[in-house]
Amino acid sequence: MVTELSDGRPKPETDDAAPAAVDLERIAAGVRMILEGIGENPDRAGLRETPNRVAEMYAELTSGMREDPTQHVIPLPADKHDEMVIVKDISIASLCEHHLAPFVGKCHIAYIPKDGRILGISKLARLAETFSRRLQLQERLTTDIANTLYEGLQPVGVMVVIEAAHTCMTLRGVRKADAKTVTSAVLGGFRNDPRTRSEAMALITGRND
C-alpha cells in the first residue's frame, strides 16, 4: 500500500511510524531455499512444515521491530524515592544481525530516580524485550535500552549491563562454549561519579548464587 504525502509525493515505505508487516510467505520461501542449499529435500515428511514454522519463529523473534519501545517508559506517580533502583537478571533473547543466530543472556538495569519518577519493574523488562526482539548487536541493544530509559524517565543516571552468550560464537567458528560478552552503557550521574558507578556494578555482579 502506498500512501501519499500532502504534496503528492509517495510516502516512503520505510516510514518509522508504520514498520512493514511480516511477510511470512517470503520468509518460508527463503527457508525452503536454505534447505535446498544444504542438500536437503524440503518435501520430505519431517521438513514439510519447517519453512512455515521458521517463518513464525522469526516473526516472533523480530516482533520488537514493530513495537514502540517508548510506550513502556511511563513514569509512575511515586513518593520521593531518590535512591538507586537496580533490576537484575532480566532474561533476554535476541538475534545477532551478522548471523541471524540467537544470543541469550541477562540484562541488568540500574537508575537513580529524579524528583521521585520511577518505572514499574515489569516495564523495564518489557523495554529490554522490545529492543531484544530485533536484529541486534549486543552493544547497540545495551545503548538502546539505556538511551530510551534516560530520555523517557529523565533520571539522574542510567546504567545498563548485558551479559550474553552468542551462539554464532559458541556453536561455530572458534567454539568458545562458555564465552560471554559483557557490554555496558553508562549515562548521566553514573558517568560522572565513579563511586556510584562502582556501587551499582558491585550490586549487579555480587550474586548470591
Binding to Zn ion (CB under 5 A) within 86-105 occurs at 96, 98-99
Do β-strands 157-166 and 135-136 pair in parallel, antiparallel, or remain unpaired?
A: unpaired
Closer residue to Zn ion in complex, CB, 146/169: 169
Identify whether 72 is a catalytic site residue: no
Please indicate whether residue 96 is annotated as part of the active site.
yes
**Grid cell locating 121:** 519493574
Sign for the CA dihedral angle at 140, 146, 152, 156 comes to negative
Q: Is 98 a catalytic residue?
A: yes
Q: Is 36 a residue of the active site? A: no
Q: Which residues in the 35-94 window bind Zn ion by CB under 5 A?
A: none
| 84: DSSP letter | -
Given 40, 56, 67, 99, which residue is catalytic?
99
> Of 49, 97, 139, 151, which residue is the catalytic one?
97
- State the Cα angle at 161 between 88 and 122, rounded to 5°: 40
Q: Report the residue from 59, 135, 165, 168 that binds Zn ion according to the rule CB under 5 A.
A: 168
- Of the candidates 96, 107, 108, 136, the residue annotated as catalytic is 96
Which residue lies nearest Zn ion, judged by its C-beta?
Answer: 168
Q: Which of 138, 135, 159, 156 is nearest to 147 (CA)?
A: 159
Q: Which of 72, 107, 163, 166 is catalytic?
A: 166
Smallest separation, CB 139 to Zn ion (Å): 12
Q: Is 39 exposed, middle or buried (0-12, 13-18, 19+ CB in 10 A)?
A: exposed
- Interacting residue ranges for Zn ion, rule: CB under 5 A: 96, 98-99, 168
Instruction: Give the residue numbers marked as catalytic.
Output: 96-99, 138, 166, 168
